[in-house]
Amino acid sequence: MKFNRRLLILSNLFPNKDNSFYGGIFVKEQVNELKKYFKEITVISPQPLGTKRNLKDYNYDNVKVYYPRFFHLPITFFRKHLGNNYFKVASQIIEKENIDFDLIHAHFAWPSGYAGVKLKEKYKKPLIVTAHGNDIRIPLTNYIQSFDNKYLKMMLDVIIKKADAILTHHEELRDLLLSNYPNLKYKIYFTYKGINLERFNPFSEKILENAKKYREKLALYDKFIVLFLARVDWDKDPETLVKAAKILRNEKNVMFLIVGSGKLESKIRKLKAKNNLKNLIIIGKRSDTEVWYALSDVFCALSPVENIWSTTLQEALCMGKPSIVTKVGYTEKILTHLHDAYLIPPKNPQILVNAILELKSDEELRKKLSQNALKWREKFDYSKISGEIIAIYEKVLQDYQK
């Protein structure tokens, strides 16, 4: 089935043409599935002037991607105007390029969701907003004191009220929305965040061949490889991994890899140098993440906040990786210790070390975790999830036209 319709996507982040800028890859993967159903999809991802200069407008298949620029400074006044600035530059692109659309789908409540509300009012088109994490968690729980939580909550109230549907891929976020907006439960939807199963295929000969080459290049032939693949930021807790590497510095057969970049990357590199950790390799940002899962023996998701459903944890499960996962947030409600993951408390490097050594010595446990991780592939299958999203689109369009 294909809509004879056009979809407008707004997103805080969206990868460039070759995916060397990886931010928002989960949005692009979804677009790649949804484009099968639409005549045309337009993606608008506004960016502040002077940042991410490698982002250039591009087209592929029936998708057009734009990165309009706006002036921004990291101070409260400008942060509060992000939503309006997103709306202004998105409107300018729509007018300049004469973009036609039937439906708006905004990813992240703030600021894209707010810009979506303004576009809905201007162009009289229905709006779906997908919440992804802190855009909901911060204003509804205040677990982080951001620049103005009250303001973010006020904006979120507007977005939730005026959007035609709110979609989330996370049970915790769904429940937060339902408890805070019980009268609007009819417009709150949950679907799993899909994964490109063709790309994240643990049996792919090409992936396995590239993984072997990387192992040889990095002299990791006989090493037990522990992988941290995520943003290198506090909410992913790479420091606990570094501390575990320090404890195991004399364990010759164990090697730690950090793949990713972020605000703590410089600090992590300094800690590695300070402690002379030859058992820790910092790879940096990579777009070929499937290969790094394939060459590793164990994957670590160490967030002290929440792991369900981080994109990298989903990818690791789809690659059949035995995963050590911190039992925070909704994690214990979804994953079972020693069944489909090895669950540990957060910020405890010694317990992380114990888990690594147990998995290293117990091949049968690794096989069990791997086999049960692979069972998640079916739930993350985009062919199923895209159908669920299209059904939501159809309902929203029908209701809007009444």
**Domains, the chain:** 6-194+381-401 (3.40.50.2000), 205-377 (3.40.50.2000)
47 bridge partner residues: 69
**103 conformational bin, left if phi > 0, alpha if psi -120 to 50, beta if neither:** beta
pLDDT at site 147: 66
What's the average model confidence in pLDDT over 50-65? 93
Nearest partner of 57 among 70, 43, 36, judged by Cα: 43
Kindly indicate the confidence band of residue 2, based on its pLDDT and cuts at 50, 70 and 90: low
Q: Which amino acid type is present at position 11?
A: S
Report whether pLDDT(1) > 60: no
pLDDT at site 309: 87
Rounded to an integer, what distance in angstroms lies between the CA atom of residue 397 and that of residue 392? Answer: 9
Kindly indicate the confidence band of residue 91, based on its pLDDT and cuts at 50, 70 and 90: very high
What's the average model confidence in pLDDT over 129-152? 87
Contact 272, 250 (CB under 8 A): no
pLDDT digits 0-9 by tens, 95-109: 999 999 999 999 999
What's the average model confidence in pLDDT over 382-397? 92
pLDDT at site 358: 98
202-231 burial by CB neighbour count: b if 16+ within 10 A, else e? bebeebeebbeebbeeeebeebbbbbbbbb
Full-model pTM = 0.89
What's the average model confidence in pLDDT over 204-229? 95
- CA distances from residue 285 to 23, 127, 289 in whole angstroms, order as listed: 11, 33, 9
Contact 307, 313 (CB under 8 A): yes
Report whether pLDDT(45) > 80: yes
Instruction: Specify the higher pLDDT residue, 59 or 23.
Output: 59
**142 conformational bin, left if phi > 0, alpha if psi -120 to 50, beta if neither:** left
Instruction: Specify the higher pLDDT residue, 147 or 331.
Output: 331
Neighbour tally for 154: CB within 10 Å: 11
pLDDT at site 382: 86
Tokens 């309009």, residue located: 68
pLDDT at site 392: 95
pLDDT at site 364: 98
Nearest partner of 62 among 111, 5, 103, judged by Cα: 5
pLDDT at site 200: 95
pLDDT at site 84: 96
Rounded to an integer, what distance in angstroms lies between the CA atom of residue 70 and that of residue 277? Answer: 42
pLDDT digits 0-9 by tens, 296-316: 999 999 999 999 889 999 999
Report whether pLDDT(181) > 70: yes
pLDDT digits 0-9 by tens, 58-71: 999 999 999 999 99
pLDDT digits 0-9 by tens, 335-381: 999 999 999 999 999 999 999 999 999 999 999 999 999 999 999 99
What's the average model confidence in pLDDT over 48-60? 91
Report whether pLDDT(93) > 80: yes
Q: Which amino acid type is present at position 188?
A: I
- Cα three-residue angle 87-93-94, rounded to 5 degrees: 85
pLDDT at site 356: 98
Report whether pLDDT(148) > 90: no
Give the single-character DSSP code of 195: B
In sequence order, what DSSP letters do the residues of 247-315 get, joined into one string? Answer: HTTT-TTEEEEEE---TTHHHHHHHHHHTT-TTEEEEE--S-HHHHHHH-SEEEE--SS--TT-HHHHH
What's the average model confidence in pLDDT over 204-211? 97
Mean model confidence pLDDT for the chain = 94
- Give me the percent of the chain exceeding a pLDDT of 70: 99
pLDDT at site 371: 98
Q: Where are the beta strands (DSSP E) in 184-279?
A: 188-190, 224-229, 254-259
Q: Which two tokens stand for residue 373?
A: 């991780």
What's the average model confidence in pLDDT over 18-28? 88
233-260 burial by CB neighbour count: b if 16+ within 10 A, else e? ebbbbbbbbbbbbbebbeeeebbbbbbb
